[in-house]
Amino acid sequence: MASKVCTRRGFLKAAGIGAASVAAWRFGGAARLIAGVRKRPNIVFFFTDDQRFDTIRALGNEEIITPNMDALVRGGTTFTNAYIMGSMSGAVCMPSRAMLMSGRTLFHLEGQGRVIPEGHATMGEVLRKAGYVTFETGKWHQDAGTFSRSFSDGAKIFFGGMSDHYKVPVRDFDPTGKYPRQKIYRDEGVHSSELFSDAAIRFLRGHKEDKPFFLYIAYTAPHDPRDMPEQYLNMYDAEKVSLPRSFMAEHPFDNGEMKIRDEKLAAWPRTPEEIRRHKRAYYAMITHVDAQIGRVMEALKETGQAENTIIIFSGDNGLAVGRHGLMGKQNLYEHSVHVPLVFSGPGIGRNERRDGFCYLLDIFPTVCELTGLDVPDSVEGRSLAGAIGGRGRRLRRTLFFAYKDIQRGVRDRRFKLIEYFVNGKRTTQLFDLERDPFELENLAGSGEHRRNLVRLRKELVRWREELDDESKFWEGYEVSA
């Protein structure tokens, strides 16, 4: 049975704020009120790498084993329509993390959307200035300067995109912020998910300061290479792992990114046997990282800090793993842009669902509101705190997606449009997600859906103007074509 919906009053009560102060919250602003409270809530943020939205058992996937993620879902509020905006490079995780940490939209970052501009606040920076101890372990796919202004401490820091999970090139925290390459070392034989969880657990057990903390654990799993302790792989039988509903031997046309590294992980044409093997390993890695999340959660309880801690769980992007004949995330199908997002903690409703459209860049302003801090002017995301409390669930009417100069997409509550511009040729896909959630039937050529096609094309252009998307994709683009 779901618990009662979270309200600001409920959050304040859980945080130890008396009823007399609720009016001050309502009329005086959260930041001023919380500043007078003995201690703000801690934050533990679990962030996985390449984990698709439909890889949690409690959210409907009965094939996967995720007891600790299930516990987070049952104990919190899940956003079932959380997405990434996309990427202007093949390293999709890099702009995804930049948008997450800055709250900026894709085209308002630098370096093809991969770099947080100087002067644009980061989530860690805001929390640090508010008195939080900010600690990072794991993947930091940004520059050292941005890391240094965001975190006051850290361990096993990986300044990179991917690596051998048993030989991750990490660095210790450097208060000077220099992080020279000669300081890189490897804890060979220790899996990345265990390495980063160990660092997080040491931090939790050693945290004695009378200050709240922000613990950001950025796993590199389940990103390939898909290595994990054999016991987790043995939890899945390749012959019993189901073939994706949208399995295809090959993608039906050139989407502009058919030969990138990710797509070379399996031979063409794709075979059911090979895709089942990849899916088995993908699920096993998720189950392994789930176990490590459980270890961190147990340490949080053991140290007596769980009751005053907001937990956030999400992933940086999805992954095809055989769907639509693809292996990677360099596309705009649901399996690659749709991600998990769960909040739990004091005052947050248990086992609740919210279907409002949101992006990862909305997490930053949400954290600000939940901790009573002002949202920096540089942040473009929208706070989800109201939706967590049962208000403003819709958030956005539509969502926009982009990949390089070759793919653009937009979706509303029912339909989704994906447009391609590859070697001078345009291809259009229109899907009815309500009837066709696996995006198998292209309705773009149907006269019955002509109005939906034109309507979504107009919405795509509206987003282009709002986001300052000035890419070559738009050369000669016609709404009525």
Tell which of 342, 366, 388 closes a domain.
Answer: 388
Specify if 8 maps to a domain: no
Identify the CATH number of the domain in which residue 426 sits.
Answer: 3.30.1120.10
Secondary structure letter of residue 317 according to DSSP: -
Parallel/antiparallel/unpaired status of strands 407-411 and 399-403: antiparallel
Output the pLDDT for position 470: 95
Q: How many CA atoms lie within 13 A of 409 on its CB side?
A: 29
Question: Is the pLDDT assigned to residue 15 strictly greater than 80?
Answer: no
Q: Identify the burial level of 186 via C-beta atoms within 10 angstroms of its C-beta, where 0-12 means exposed, 13-18 middle and 19 or more buried.
A: middle
In a domain, 203, yes or no: yes
How far is residue 211's CA from residue 133's CA, in Å, rounded to a whole number?
A: 7
The DSSP annotation for 75-123 comes to TEEEETTEE--EESSS-THHHHHHHHHH---GGGSBTTTTBPPTTS--H
pLDDT at residue 327 tops 90:
yes
pLDDT at position 394 is: 72
**What is the average pLDDT score of the chain?**
91
Nearest CA to 282 out of 344, 222, 328, 332 is that of: 222
Question: Do residues 289 and 413 both lie within one domain?
Answer: no
Residues 211 and 191 in one domain: yes
Residue 34 pLDDT > 70, yes or no? no
Residue at 432 is within a domain:
yes
| 28 part of a folded domain | no
Domain that includes residue 463, residue range: 399-474
Q: What is the pLDDT of residue 392?
A: 58
The domain tally of the chain equals: 2
CATH number at residue 114: 3.40.720.10
Domain boundary among 357, 388, 419: 388
Q: Which whole number is the average pLDDT over 42-49?
A: 98
Q: Is residue 27 part of a domain?
A: no
% of the chain at pLDDT higher than 70 = 92
Q: Is the same domain home to 414 and 329?
A: no
Task: Kindly state the average pLDDT of the residues 152-165.
Answer: 95
Instruction: Give 269 or 18, the one with higher predicted confidence.
Output: 269
For 341-363, the pLDDT digits (tens) are 999 999 899 999 999 999 999 99
Which residue reads 């989407």 in tokens?
255
